[in-house]
Structure formats: C-alpha cells, structure tokens
C-alpha cells in the first residue's frame, strides 16, 4: 500500500514539475486549437459566399458585368459548286455564307456612373454608363477573301453590336449610317463573332468607299466594363467618379489619371496588337483581346480577415510562450485547462473581427475586437498571476502582438519581410530570456 502511494506521489510530483510534460501539453493544446481556427476559416468562406450571392442577386436584376463588342458589318454572299449526279448530269449547288468586316476606325467615349446598392448587410457596386460610339467602315473588299464581289447580297447587309446583358439597355439604340437613321433590333443574324447582342439592316453597295457611323448607348452594369478592340484603330476614353478602379484585360490604358474624385483612362489599340484579321468568314474568337476596368470595393473585410487568421497559430503560440516563461520564472502553477480557456479566447477574437467588420470599418473592428480580447485575457490572468506588475507586462505584450499583426495585414507587399524580421527578433528575445534557465534542475528546485 505504501509502495503504491509512493509511486503515485512521485507520479504526481513529476506531472507538476516536469518541464517536458508542460511543453508537450502546451504543444498538444495548440494543435487542438487548430480545430476552432479552421472553423473560423470556414465561417469566413461562408460569409464570402453570402456576399457573393448578394452581389449576383443584385447584378441579375440591375445588370451583370458588361462586355461591349462591335461594331461588325456582315454581308451575306453565295458560293456556287457544280456536282455530278449518278446519271452523269451536272447540278449547280448554291450555298449562302456570311463575310464579316471590322471597322477601320472605332472610337468609344463616355462615362461610368457608379452607385452603391444594399442587399441585407452587404454592399454592391452597380453603374450606369452612357457611351458614344463612332467610326467608319471601309468598303468591303471581297478580293482579300477570294470571293467574287458580284456574289455578295449588298441589300442584306447587317450591323451587329455585342453586349453581354441586353436586359440592361436603357434607351432605343439609333444608328446614324450614311446620314440615315437606323434602329437596332434584338438578336443577331449571325453568331460567328458574338453570342449576345443587337443588330440592324443597313444599306451598302459596291460603290460607296466608306461608311461612317455613330450611335449612343445607355445601359446598366455591375462590377466592370470591358471592350473588344475590333477597329483597325480602336480608341477608348472612359471617365468616372469611382476612385478605386482596377484596369485589367489584354491591354492597360496608355494614359490614366486616378484621384479621389474619380479616374480618366485612355486606350489606343491597333489591329496589329491582336490576333485576328479585319475581314473573315465563319467563326472567330475575339474575346482574348478584351480590356477594360473593374470597379473594386475599397475595403474587402473578408480578405483581410482571412489574412489575419493565417497568423492565429503564431498568436496562440506566442501567448502560450509568455505564460510558460511566466510560469518558469515565478513558479506560478498554470493548469492546462487555463491554457485552453486562454486559447479559446484568442480564437474568439477572429469571430469578433468577422462579425464587427461587417458593420464597421476593418480598422475599427480590429481595434474593438483586439482590445476586448486583451481586456478579457488580462482580467483572467490577474487571478492566475496574483501580481499586478506581471499582469501589466502581459497586457503590454498582447497589445504589441495584435498591433504587429495589424501592421502585417495592412502592409501586404512587405508582410513577408516584416514578419521574418519580427520573428527573428522574437526568437532572439526568447533566447535572451531563457539564457540562464537551468532546464534540468527546474523540477528539482520545485
């Protein structure tokens, strides 16, 4: 009986004094806390999906992201082939095809007027755009396509204008063509180039040397606006009062000016800059040459929250390390359950950050969430340490830690550099603090 009690006494003493066991338990708790951290990441993804659904819902009713493609002059023509019948007689086969011609000059100018709409707590950026489109078509040259001009049906020529979402068109689209007014009708006579758009029958002949055109298009959209450079020379001038544009696509603006009041952007694209000709028959891919502008939101709280969660393991580990060294230096006994409670409080910070950032700026949400957690942990730690000075030191270190994480989140381009230097400094500080600790005799001293 005494031997059993002696064994349990030694076991109890070892569990209370073993540094190796404490380190193992702390490491195990850090791994356990990765479970709520992963749940926070799932929560961020879920909230992002809710936001995306809200954007899609508003966009589907107002107007989706728009791509303007046009104008395209299409002229039908006939080919004739002679085939022999089984009896040796010949039969003439007549087949209708379409030749497409792109404008020699294409000018697009106008403005984008954005506004914010709300679906629940989510903010969605939509816009109204008014564009003036003008330019000229050169007389179709069928010889370059190895087609007899006499086989063309000039009176069946059509003009096509591609637009991604036709529901958003706000006015009758009137085309000034050869000093005459022509109205567009919904749908396309040919889907060789674009799949969605409007078209109009126009007068052409084999005599006129060029066809000037002009039209005004007013439509709604969301997220962004793109253009397809179909002209031999395509010039696009866009202005807006949106101060956070993102220019993307195959071509960036030649000149741009972005201020707090909005932006102006100018593109000039030549036919040599893209990989399709000015005249062709059959289908062709033109979308790879698209370019334009996206109206991005100034603040994406979910992206920043995701970046902050990536540092969760570092926050938990460093906080536990502070408690561990406090325990070693002062012989304070901290139970694993107390470590676990503190770790759960640290995980709660990220949930607070997500919830608060949906209703206020990310800066204010981060400040409110971090201060709340620091006060909570500091208050709890005071009853563990029973030492006001040690509690104040802990509070100061936690404030520095959360401040450091915020700086890393804000300075995205330099986050790796700053993070690496900071970790180097922290490791050096740990080495300095533990330089005089006799790890083998800590348990014996207890």
Angle subtended at Cα 271 by Cα 268 and Cα 272, rounded to the nearest 5 degrees: 105
Mean pLDDT of the residues in the chain: 83
Please report the pLDDT score of residue 206 as a whole number.
63
Residue 435 has pLDDT above 80, yes or no: no
CA atoms of 182 and 175, how far apart (whole Å) = 5
Going by C-alpha positions, the residue among 357, 297, 321, 364 that lies closest to residue 40 is 357
| Cβ neighbours for 83, distance < 8 A, ≥ 6 positions apart | 90, 91, 93
Residue 18 has pLDDT above 70, yes or no: no
What share of the chain has pLDDT > 70, as a percent? 88
What share of the chain has pLDDT > 90, as a percent? 24
Q: Quick check: 191 and 150 in contact, CB under 8 A? A: no
Of 118 and 277, more confident: 277
Bridge partners, residue 324, by sequence: none
Residue 2 has pLDDT above 60, yes or no: no
Bridge partners, residue 177, by sequence: 180, 213
Please report the pLDDT score of residue 446 as a whole number.
43
State the greatest distance between any 2 C-alpha atoms of the chain, in Å, as a whole number: 120
Residue 438 has pLDDT above 80, yes or no: no
Average pLDDT, stretch 362-388?
Answer: 88
Average pLDDT, stretch 200-209?
Answer: 77
Going by C-alpha positions, the residue among 133, 147, 177 that lies closest to residue 159 is 177
Please report the pLDDT score of residue 233 as a whole number.
95
How many Cα atoms within 13 Å fall on the side-chain side of residue 47? Answer: 21
Going by C-alpha positions, the residue among 320, 326, 352, 318 that lies closest to residue 339 is 320
Query: What number of residues does the chain have?
Result: 446
| Cβ neighbours for 291, distance < 8 A, ≥ 6 positions apart | 226, 227, 229, 247, 248, 249, 250, 251, 252, 267, 269
């Amino acid at each position: 009986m005494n031997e059993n009690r002696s064994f349990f006494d030694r076991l109890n003493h070892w569990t209370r004094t073993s540094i190796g066991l404490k380190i193992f338990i702390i490491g195990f708790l850090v791994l356990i806390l990765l479970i709520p951290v992963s749940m926070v990441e799932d929560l961020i993804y879920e909230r992002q999906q809710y936001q995306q659904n809200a954007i899609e819902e508003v966009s589907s009713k107002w107007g989706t992201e728009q791509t303007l493609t046009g104008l395209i002059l299409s002229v039908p023509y006939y080919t004739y082939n002679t085939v022999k019948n089984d009896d040796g007689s010949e039969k003439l086969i007549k087949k209708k095809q379409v030749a497409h011609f792109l404008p020699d000059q294409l000018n697009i100018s106008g403005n984008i007027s954005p506004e914010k709409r709300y679906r629940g707590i989510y903010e969605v950026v939509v816009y109204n755009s008014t564009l003036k489109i003008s330019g000229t078509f050169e007389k179709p040259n069928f010889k370059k396509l190895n087609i007899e001009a006499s086989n063309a049906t000039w009176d069946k020529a059509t003009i096509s204008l591609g637009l991604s979402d036709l529901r958003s068109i706000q006015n009758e689209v009137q085309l000034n063509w050869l000093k005459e007014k022509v109205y567009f009708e919904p749908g396309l006579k040919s889907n060789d180039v674009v799949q969605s758009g409007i078209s109009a029958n126009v007068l052409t002949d084999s005599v006129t040397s060029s066809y000037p055109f002009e039209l005004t298009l007013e439509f709604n959209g969301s997220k962004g606006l793109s253009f397809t450079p179909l002209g031999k020379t395509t010039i696009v001038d866009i202005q807006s009062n949106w101060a956070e544009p993102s220019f993307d696509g195959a071509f960036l603006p030649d000149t741009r000016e972005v201020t707090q009041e909005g932006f102006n952007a100018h593109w000039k694209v030549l036919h040599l800059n893209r990989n399709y000709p000015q005249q062709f028959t059959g289908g062709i891919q033109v979308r790879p040459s698209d370019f334009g502008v996206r109206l991005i939101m100034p603040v994406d709280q979910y992206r920043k929250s995701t970046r902050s969660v990536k540092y969760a393991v570092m926050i938990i580990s460093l906080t536990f390390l502070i408690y561990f060294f406090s325990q070693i230096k002062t012989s304070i006994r901290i139970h694993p359950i107390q470590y676990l409670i503190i770790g759960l409080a640290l995980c709660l910070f990220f949930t607070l950050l997500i919830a608060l950032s949906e209703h206020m700026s990310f800066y204010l949400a981060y400040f409110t969430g971090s201060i709340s957690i620091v006060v909570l942990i500091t208050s709890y730690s005071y009853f563990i340490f029973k030492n006001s000075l040690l509690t104040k030191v802990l509070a100061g270190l936690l404030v520095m830690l959360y401040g450091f994480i915020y700086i890393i989140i804000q300075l995205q381009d330099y986050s790796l550099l700053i993070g690496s230097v900071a970790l180097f400094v922290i490791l050096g500080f740990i080495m300095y603090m533990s330089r005089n600790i006799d790890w083998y005799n800590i348990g014996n001293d207890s």
